[in-house]
Structure 1
């Protein structure tokens, strides 16, 4: 796969600490809800599988994320390292969002990531399930943007 020239540390092979750092960096970027910013963490020809969408390349990733965050309002995400080896990281995640009608959801999933030598993600495979929740069942309440350092993670929240 082709990459851009800019390295995105930490670089593989990942240690537990650098894998956790990479996961948190991805979480923070996605919580920005800035498709262009998020796309810079991927190779120029990165391939994704996300539910029924199969974006390839940064341009398609930006278009996909733009549509996603127009539909998934008040999006807040938590990612957690599941496993890592070499240039691969497995992540579990949950995010909360509401639709245009005000219905709330918590989406749960797993991602498998593969990185190139520059620390850019070249493959992303996501499996995601949505659960309708009542507003009273929400657990992610920080202001839009990165999750505060003192906010519990998935394990602490029992998710």
Structure 2
């Protein structure tokens, strides 16, 4: 295990990191060149040897809820590897969201008939951005989405009168 002083010496060797002394003798290191909202690379290095390095954008590290890796037991090689990887990950722009799929999702027709085992029929009809369920001329229910309507109909034992809907 590296001592607090050894960890500080290693982190001080990175010119792109800015040292920030915080409470209780702890030290943080910030990477102002980060292309992400996150700028803290090393967090709460403590004189007792504990401390954390940001690994939230990395694979293969055990990170806490904030994306930090506990470095208490790290060797110099492990610590340098993690710090290098952390800086590199913060130097890369955030990946863009994938383009929306050109495939159209399978949609219900504007009106579909549903039946149960007793032969009772219901009609599901799209009107004004809602989905209405009718029994004959009587309105039974209204739904925000076709998926809600399908789920309800399935729970009530109804299936599409025309398979594949």
Q: Normalising by structure 1, what TM-score?
A: 0.19
Q: Which has the larger radius of gyration?
A: 2
Q: Normalising by structure 2, what TM-score?
A: 0.19
Higher relative contact order (CA 8 A, sep 6+): 1
